[in-house]
Amino acid sequence: MDFQILISNITNPTLLFFILGVVAVLVRSDLEIPPTSVKFISLYLLFAIGFKGGQELAHSGFSQELLFSLLFGLAISAAIPLYTFFILKRKLSISDAAAVAATYGSVSAVTFVSGVSFLETQAMTFSGHMVAVMALMEAPAIIVAVVLLRSFEQDSKGDHSIISTVKHSFTNGSVLMILGSLLIGIIADTKQAEGIKPFTTDIFKGFLAIFLLEMGMVTARRISAFKQYGWFATLFAIVIPVINGSIVALLSGYVTDSFGNRFMFALLAASASYIAVPAAMRLSAPKADPGLFIPMALGITFPLNITIGMPLYLLIVLNT
């Protein structure tokens, strides 16, 4: 059973397209996806997952599990940057430590979408409210990181306003799209929503495959600039996500009995943001090096999660 899950994930077409993207760069191919197309596909993926989650949330209604899930997600997003910052500042500057801590405390929508596809291959489902959990987990990590930055680097000159940080987090394009789609999914008429189901469901995996092809190419291009940071950053990007995901996979059993929800919690805890956090850190921590935290998240942690991480977290969930 364990081996079958791993093989099933490795042979997933979406993952194979990610590998193709890496190979394309390594062999110096001229393969390229137009930036406008990539932006459209990323917005489509966020729209589709948000809208479907909103529809499911509307059908499930408010419950104690929903409340506990939201609180649990917020706690995870606040706790991870809090403890990782103190590990990171031993080897990195305060600005870089805060940026990396925010990166690993926040979440990756693309990793979440990949997790949705993975669960489908395992014939498993998750609750619509997990989309809301994911969206709410973007901001707390950024806020905690900014507070830590203000506390430990008094001469930093970024925009440290908590109100500004929160506003920027929630008005970030990716966050706004998924929150907006979630809200529309909740209030939309069920019969009317059936009309766009082919768009939100049937072509979803195809667009995901093309998007991961682009992610593979981006990963291969950026990883070379990361080498100057040595073994510490590499080890952190491998070990910390696995620890976070594994611990949350165990603790999530106290919040929900759903294997799909527990898996999603673990995957969110293990993921790292490379969209919302870089935008926020550009304002709050201008001295932080994007050449450090973006390749860590995109070049190491993202491939780790979609290859080995997802089967690992599912196995922990199924066996606890």
CATH number of the domain encompassing residue 297: 1.20.1530
Rounded to two decimals, what is the model's pTM?
0.76
Q: What is the mean pLDDT of the chain?
A: 84
Per-residue model confidence as pLDDT tens digits over 38-49? 888 888 887 887
Over residues 101-124, the mean pLDDT reads: 89
Q: 190: which residues sit within 8 A by CB, 6+ positions away? A: 55, 58
Per-residue model confidence as pLDDT tens digits over 121-176? 888 999 888 888 887 787 788 888 888 887 887 655 555 566 766 666 566 666 67
| 6 CA to centre of own chain | 21
Q: 64: which residues sit within 8 A by CB, 6+ positions away? A: none
d(CA 150, CA 160): 7
Domain boundaries, position 154: 2-23+31-318
d(CA 98, CA 231): 19
Rg of the Cα atoms in the chain: 19
Half-sphere exposure of 187 (CA within 13 A, CB side): 5
In which band, very low, low, confident or very high, does the pLDDT at 1 lie, cut at 50, 70 and 90? Answer: very low
Per-residue model confidence as pLDDT tens digits over 167-220? 665 666 666 787 788 789 888 887 888 888 788 877 888 888 888 888 788 778
pLDDT at 18: 82
* Counted domains in the chain: 1
Of 52-61, 67-76, 116-125, 178-187, the least confident? 52-61
Over residues 22-36, the mean pLDDT reads: 90
* Nearest residue to 296 via CA among 69, 54, 92: 92
